[in-house]
Amino acid sequence: MNSKHWSCPLSDADDTVRAESREGMLDSIATATTVGADAVLLVPAVVNDATHYEVAYERSQAEIRKLIPEAAEKGITIAIENVWNKFLLSPMEFSRYLDEFENETVTAYFDVGNIVLYGYPQHWIRSLGSRISKVHVKGFNANESRFTYLIEDCTIDWNAVMVALEDIGYDDYMTAELPVDRDNPEGRVHSISTDMDRIIAGTV
């Protein structure tokens, strides 16, 4: 993951801020190469009162295009994640944003839990299709707008999510992105593993 994409977004009006973000991404690409990873997660832009949506769209694409040659040379995918950044708020727009790069180096890092606030993950998965290169999983309760355990108190239809992933031919990793239990870290890892086994098996 690019550690600079929130503090120094690629959509910032300041050239020096964007340059710092690019350097952070280049560092992440180098690190990924060293450790044998094949993708770096990127939050592409942040829309706020100072950065209009259209500007964030155009500016972030321009900056990402500068990163493609290095990522492609190293065999690293730039995987853009859906987060709460008020940007790319529909699956059709997300797909178009990716397609406009006309380069397979830029893909989607789809976060199942993040999307529940404004959509259904199984719908987004089918819309994004083969553009998805990586998947994050976390629980979310849509009725109360809060993150949860993967299964307990979670309103995500995990069986529908897994059917959608199978339908698009996704066969890469699913990574749990959940907080640790400092009082019982090993037990927490075990419970996450058990939940993921049920999710993958389609028996939730």
| Whole-angstrom distance, CA of residue 96 vs CA of residue 91 | 9
Residue 1: pLDDT band by 50, 70, 90 thresholds?
confident
Question: pLDDT at residue 3 above 80?
Answer: no
What global pTM score does this model have? 0.95
What pLDDT was estimated at residue 177?
94
The residue with tokens 């690293």 is: 76
Query: In degrees rounded to 5, what are phi and psi of residue 134?
Result: -145, 160
Strands of the sheet containing 132-137, edge to edge, are 39-42, 77-81, 106-111, 132-137, 174-176
Residue ranges covered by each domain of the chain: 15-137+158-177
The residue with tokens 């707008």 is: 145
- pLDDT tens by residue, 10-55: 999 999 999 999 999 999 999 999 999 999 999 999 999 999 999 9
Question: pLDDT at residue 180 above 90?
Answer: no
**Long-range pairs of 46-54 with CB within 8 A, sequence gap ≥ 24:** 46/6, 46/9, 46/11, 46/12, 46/85, 46/86, 46/87, 47/11, 47/85, 47/86, 47/87, 48/86, 50/13, 51/9, 51/11, 51/12, 51/13, 53/86, 53/87
For the chain, what percent of residues have pLDDT higher than 90?
94
- pLDDT tens by residue, 148-171: 999 999 999 999 999 999 999 999
Do the strands 106-111 and 132-137 form a parallel or antiparallel pair, or are they unpaired? parallel
Domain 15-137+158-177 top-level CATH class: alpha beta
How confident is the model over 86-113, as a mean pLDDT?
A: 98
